[in-house]
Amino acid sequence: MRLDILTVVPELLQSPLNESILKRAQQKGLVEIVIHNIRDYTLDKHRQVDDYPFGGEAGMVMKPEPIFRCVEALQAERHYDEVIYTSPDGIQYNQHEANRLSTLENLIILCGHYKGVDYRVREQLITREISIGDYVLTGGELAAAIIADSVVRIIPGAIGDEASALTDSFQDNLLAPPVYTRPAEFRGWSVPEVLLSGNFAEIEKWQEQQAWERTERLRPDLLK
Ligand code: ADE
């Protein structure tokens, strides 16, 4: 997979995309992540990426020209399956969408900033608008990092233990069961007996019961 992220604040994306599992996935060649500073696609001497909105509202709007220049330069190189825009008014992001994106070949993510992007960008370039939740961030960079993280970690080979991504919460619309490690007893609190039993059929049954019980109690909406 190749993931191109367009931003006016590239610094915000450096650390989340270059540590831990995402770093290793790039080193293994499973994904190539390229961050583009939209300012590099301006032609004026002030390298201006935003301007006042028509209509006289407060705040600034991202200018269309450098974004079109950047996206079209990328599209001249290869086909992109989706051109995503991160915005609070997009469709709500979830595991189902992460799974879908992880099967695609080339993705562009445009990070919204300021009051948002000139609407012509959304009409002409964007194929998918994604929100990570009903709250407003200062920009779409953290949302793009969340999308990149959740997509890359489920690419086969990204996580050492292949099975582990499949047992995540939400993968089958159930929350994950509780997990424990050593010591088996800590301050008088014991690990559930069944997990120490070595009986894998029983352990699996217990985990499934726990997943259902926790989902019914904490997220009944997932079972609908
Ligand atoms: N940009 C600002 N808020 C956002 C949100 N909730 N999701 C995606 N992008 C955003």
Tens digit of pLDDT for each residue in 87-102?
A: 999 999 999 999 999 9
The pairing of beta strand 82-92 with beta strand 61-62: unpaired
The pairing of beta strand 128-131 with beta strand 61-62: unpaired
Distance 135 CA to ligand 1 centre (A): 7
Looking at residue 167, its pLDDT comes to: 76
Is 116 near ligand 1, meaning CB less than 6 Å away? no
Domains and CATH numbers, the chain: 2-152 (3.40.1280.10), 169-223 (1.10.1270.20)
Is 7 near ligand 1, meaning CB less than 6 Å away? no
What's the count of helices (H) and strands (E) in the chain, helices before strands? 8, 9
Is 112 near ligand 1, meaning CB less than 6 Å away? yes
Is 134 near ligand 1, meaning CB less than 6 Å away? no
Task: Give the least confident one: 140-149, 166-175, 188-197, 213-222.
Answer: 166-175
How far is it, in rounded angstroms, from Cα 217 to Cα 47? 53
Confidence of residue 162 (pLDDT cuts 50, 70, 90): low
The pairing of beta strand 189-190 with beta strand 185-186: antiparallel
Confidence of residue 171 (pLDDT cuts 50, 70, 90): confident
Per-residue pLDDT of 21-46, as tens digits, reads 999 999 999 999 999 999 999 999 99
Q: Which of 139, 175, 137 lies closest to 6, judged by CA?
A: 139
Whether the per-residue pLDDT at 49 is higher than 90: the answer is yes
Q: How far is CA 111 from CA 5, 66, 156, in A?
A: 7, 13, 26
Per-residue pLDDT of 205-215, as tens digits, reads 999 999 999 99
How far is it, in rounded angstroms, from Cα 217 to Cα 212? 9
Looking at residue 219, its pLDDT comes to: 97
Burial of 130 (0-12, 13-18, 19+ CB in 10 A): buried
- DSSP per position, 119-184: HHHHHHT-SEEEESSSS--SBSHHHHHHHHHHHHTTSTTSSSSHHHHHTSTTTTSSPPPP---S-S
- Listed as own residue / partner, the contacts of 29-34 with beta carbons closer than 8 Å and 24 or more positions apart are 30/1, 30/152, 30/155, 30/157, 30/158, 31/1, 31/2, 31/3, 31/152, 31/155, 31/158, 32/1, 32/2, 32/3, 33/2, 33/3, 33/5, 33/148, 33/152, 34/2, 34/3, 34/4, 34/5
Looking at residue 165, its pLDDT comes to: 77
Q: What is the mean pLDDT of residues 187-199?
A: 98
Looking at residue 172, its pLDDT comes to: 85
Looking at residue 163, its pLDDT comes to: 64
Q: Write down the mean pLDDT value for the chain.
A: 96
Distance 187 CA to ligand 1 centre (A): 42
Q: What is the mean pLDDT of residues 106-128?
A: 96
Share of the chain above pLDDT 70, in %: 99
- Dihedral, CA atoms, 25, 106, 173, 199, nearest 10 degrees? -30
pTM: 0.94
